Amino acid sequence: MSEKGQDVIHFDEPNGNFDRTWREEQWGSKKLSAAAQDVAKDEKDMTIRQAIKVYKKAIIWSLVISTCVIMEGYDTNLLGNFYAYPSFQKKYGDWVGVTKQTPTGYSLTAGWQSGLGQGSGCGSILGTIINGWLVTAFGPRNVLLCTLCVMTCFLFIVFFAPSKEVLLVGEILLGFEWGIFATTAPAYASEVLPLQLRVFFTSYVNMCFIIGQFISGGILRGLVSRNDQWGYRIPFAIQWIWPAFLIPLIWFAPESPYHLVRHNRLEEAERSIRRLQAAGPDLDPKRTLATIVYTNNLEEQLAVGTSYFDCFRGFERRRTEIACVVFGGQLVCGLCFAYASTYFFQQVGLDMKAAYSLGVGANGLALLACFANWFLLMPYFGRRTVYVWGMCAMAIELCLIGILNPWTNRPSVAWTQAVLTLVWTVTFQLSAGQLGWALPAEIGSTRLRQKTVCLARNVSNITGVIGGTLENFFMNPKAWNLQGYTGFVWGGCAWLVFIWAFFRLPETKDRSFHELDILFARNIPARKFKTTQIDEFDEHEQNQLAARYSVDGGQGPPLRRPSYVPSVTNVLANHGRAEDALAQRRGSIIATPNGSRRPSIAPAVTEYLKTH
């Protein structure tokens, strides 16, 4: 890599007909490329302790944004555990007779368990897809504020639901907001924090799920003896607490500087960076802004657009695959079975209070495992290593649960199966539980990050809906009643994810977004990501890659979106978002008088530098 502060040497060679003059823009005392190179080197040399000191304000705002996800973890855990909840069973269940597995005499059918349990997941699918467009158009801060207000209204439906049909409608409508929260938080964290802190605070979203589940588990345990309507209504009502303090906090949160740069709002991006970094003589927000602009321009040079269609073009297809399988892998490795395990505990013969106590204990262990992941694994081991071997361990644990099932009538075996689900929970949170959130947020290019996260989350949602529906039939005593044999089903799926990850999951630890762009553009094999040496500011290589990924690919007219892709960009253009529409239709590139191509942000950069 070139020495810090040294201007990049330019070569006279084809580069996909891409104009290089944007690199020559004078950014303070240096050219844009040199300023960006300085910041990249400083960031890589920074220790975790130094990064926390410099970006402490960004950490606080990232925590605030991610706290929205606590509500989703809280709500989704409620429904899964309400199936064995006495007051909920009496209100919404059907009379099936008193048995060891149904001590109240009431139970929901497997079909209604699936409908209620997956209602929010179905709503989340739609919310997630739309969020990819909403955040691109309006920014994460504005989208979250509006979503919190809408969610406050929809909570009235589930609180006052007189029947399970109305409750299902409320869960679907709330799922829309959950989809927005879950996909906005990790993308925001990855854009406001340096690479040393990136994995910790993108995976913090997963910890927010656990915190929500832990809170709901404790509340359910405290109200389990209450047989009136407030036994299930109080847990629903507590959800109104979150918007009361989150709305004013997010109102003051800074917008993502990457979002502002993509909208050519460089002055606002600089002000946002000032609010995210600590003030100091060695810190210059303009230099950080130079890195964001440079990365955005490199991706435009590599013909990275900003539409959902672009997620499946060129080397972005591989990045989308990785994000989707990693996120979906969370669900098929046993999450539907071993994680929300209170119902399983009851089915293998444990009494109700013991089942709920173990459920709370599982959430506590999950939280401890997250901290262990942060302090014992992430600083020393790569993402790939932790994910691959964690998946292998979970597959073994699930198969052991299945092997023990013939002897479930023995209390000691039933308890052994219960303990194995707790061991699985710890393993999950040490590996796929954390990285399933962190990897999609850093795998996608900066211009497609929000949409990559949304696609990955929807794979998770769809997998969750299918897996959750099947799980209800696996476990329900009136349906397939597989009990512990379910471990074989999810264990087999975990083995498949392990094989995929071994061959397809790359190592992203200590790689900047700029470096990841180049590694993917060069089609480096997954197992060589860690050892491949690159110069991320080597213009000769970037010109070659630009020629390879030029809009026409050297084969004729520009690629066009298929007619069946909804022209959402036109709708945005009609609401004051013409620049976004132009960027998505043309791959975010504008033409110069001599026929070459420039980044769409180039005029805004020139205008910004006139006053800086």
Residue 61 belongs to domain with CATH number: 1.20.1250.20
| 571 in any annotated domain | no
Q: Alpha-carbon distance 123 to 111, whole Å?
A: 18
Percentage above 70 pLDDT, the chain: 73
Residue type, 432: A
Q: Alpha-carbon distance 126 to 113, whole Å?
A: 21
| 124 in any annotated domain | yes
Print the domain residue range for 474: 56-253+307-504
Residue pair 388/325 in contact by the 8 Å Cβ criterion: no
pLDDT in tens, 427-470: 998 998 889 888 988 888 878 888 898 899 999 888 887 887 78
- Residue 223, helix vs strand vs coil: helix
Which residues of the chain fall short of a pLDDT of 70?
A: 1-30, 33, 80, 96-105, 110, 280-282, 303-305, 338-359, 408-409, 475-479, 481, 536-612
In the chain, how many domains are there?
1
Tokens (6 digits) for 141: 């801060």
| 559 in any annotated domain | no
- Chain-centroid distance, C-alpha 289: 24
Q: Alpha-carbon distance 361 to 336, whole Å?
A: 18
User: Which CA distances in Å does 543 have to 17, 156, 385, 550?
Assistant: 9, 57, 33, 10
Q: Alpha helix locations (H) across 228-308?
A: 230-237, 241-251, 257-262, 266-276, 285-301
DSSP state of 377: I
The pLDDT value given to residue 13: 44
| 378 in any annotated domain | yes
| 22 in any annotated domain | no
Residue pair 298/517 in contact by the 8 Å Cβ criterion: yes
The pLDDT value given to residue 303: 63
The pLDDT value given to residue 339: 63
Residue type, 123: G
Q: How far apart are the first and last CA of the chain?
A: 28
Sign of CA dihedral 12, 16, 21, 25: negative
> How many Cα atoms sit within 13 Å of 523 on the Cβ side?
6
Torsion of CA 396, 402, 404, 405, to 10 degrees: 170
The pLDDT value given to residue 545: 67
| 139 in any annotated domain | yes
| 117 in any annotated domain | yes
Instruction: Return the bridge partners of 597, or none.
Output: 18, 591
pLDDT in tens, 186-205: 889 888 888 888 888 888 88
Give the start-end residues of each E strand in 534-591: 589-591
3-state secondary structure 312-338: HCCCHHHHHHHHHHHHHHHHHHHHHHH
User: Which CA distances in Å does 375 have to 47, 200, 369, 372?
Assistant: 14, 10, 10, 5
DSSP track, 26-87: EETTEEHHHHHHHHHHHHHH--HHHHHHHTHHHHHHHHHHHTHHHHHHHHHHHHHHHTT-HH
Residue pair 177/130 in contact by the 8 Å Cβ criterion: no
- Neighbouring residues of 350: CB distance < 8 A, sequence distance ≥ 6: 358, 414, 415, 418
| 170 in any annotated domain | yes
Residue pair 259/140 in contact by the 8 Å Cβ criterion: yes
